[in-house]
Amino acid sequence: MIEQFTLPEDTTNLPEQPGERTGEWAAFGTAVQFLTRLPWPSSGPASPAMLSRCPVYFPVVGGMIGVMTSIVLVIGCLVWPVWLAVIVALAFEARLTGAFHEDAVADFCDAFGGGWTRDDVLRILKDSRIGSYGALGLGIAVALRAGATLETVQQAGRQNWLVWSSAVIASSAISRFVVVVAMVWMPADPSRQSLSRDIGRHLTLRDLFTCALWMLPVVLPFVIQWPLQAAVCGVALVPTVWWFMSLVRRRLGGITGDCLGCLCYLSMVLVLLATAARWNP
């Protein structure tokens, strides 16, 4: 999925080619194509500059994914028990995204769990097979997300779908914003073709600020409905992201697409766990 968006070595001043899509709408469409399997109408390939800018819209696309997952969950709760509706919704999202981040979780756990040296980690990251670390890590991650979502729905009440769906949508948007933060924070591993190297290598602090502005209206309902939980999420995400990035820097020296995908899923789980916590047991 990543390879179809590979860029030339230098896109800073690369001239646009005839027929290439340009502009913010092209950047947004590229983000949709990258993060989902949704068909997106286009009259030609996106320009390299727009490919580099598309991560600015990752939180918006993440919010869209969260909305669609929430709709499936709301409908599922009408006909099934909540736990079964949650599983159906997560299965729908996996199909919608092509299990993009789930695959990254499995690869990351295999590589960092079974690799002792930098070369071992990179070699395992390239291996499409899933080992014991990957299977266990992915299973635990999906189970935590499903359990946290189930508890969130039950705490808010099945009928209060606007309340608990705001948490599902916010977790999807915030996690994609964390990915953009990571791409700005740490340089990509130069030895490996990856999302961070090809898509977001020219992101700036100004792009990060714009990305945050796009994210705000998506997460605002969550902040209003769950103010304490939103505050806890913000406090918890900072050390978690710092620890994760420090681990990647120490083991690899640069970020890769699989690391970013795993960080995205970890952030989703963290937001939902904070929302599901019983602050007044």
Please provide the distance, in angstroms rounded to a whole number, between the alpha carbons at the two ends of the chain.
44
- 3-class SS at 21? strand
What is the spatial distance between Cα 226 and Cα 70, in angstroms, rounded to a whole number? Answer: 17
The identity of residue 274, as a single letter, is: A
DSSP assignment string, 1-16 = --GGG---S--SSPPP
Q: List all residues 6 or more positions away from 114 whose beta carbon is below 8 Å from its beta carbon.
A: 120, 124, 131, 133
Give residue-wise pLDDT tens across range 211-255. 999 999 999 999 999 999 999 999 999 999 999 999 999 998 888
Residue 9 has what pLDDT? 40
pTM: 0.88
Residue 26 has what pLDDT? 82
Residue 79 has what pLDDT? 95
DSSP assignment string, 53-94 = HGGGGHHHHHHHHHHHHHHHHHHHHHHS-HHHHHHHHHHHHH
What is the spatial distance between Cα 260 and Cα 263, in angstroms, rounded to a whole number? Answer: 5
Per the DSSP assignment, residues forming a β-bridge with 188 are 255
Residue 20 has what pLDDT? 46
Residue 239 has what pLDDT? 95
The identity of residue 2, as a single letter, is: I
Instruction: Please check whether residue 186 is in contact with residue 205, taking contact to mean a CB–CB distance below 8 angstroms.
Output: no
Residue 75 has what pLDDT? 97
What is the spatial distance between Cα 22 and Cα 24, in angstroms, rounded to a whole number? Answer: 7
Give residue-wise pLDDT tens across range 130-155. 899 999 999 999 999 999 999 999 99
The identity of residue 33, as a single letter, is: Q
What is the spatial distance between Cα 6 and Cα 12, in angstroms, rounded to a whole number? Answer: 15
Instruction: Please check whether residue 180 is in contact with residue 55, taking contact to mean a CB–CB distance below 8 angstroms.
Output: yes
- Encode the chain (281 residues) as per-residue pLDDT tens digits: 333 333 334 434 434 444 445 578 888 988 998 899 988 776 556 566 667 788 999 999 999 999 999 999 999 999 999 999 999 999 999 999 999 899 999 999 999 998 888 989 888 988 888 899 999 999 999 999 999 999 999 999 999 999 999 999 999 999 999 999 998 888 777 666 555 555 666 788 888 999 999 999 999 999 999 999 999 999 999 999 999 999 999 998 888 889 999 999 999 999 999 999 986 65
- 3-class SS at 177? helix
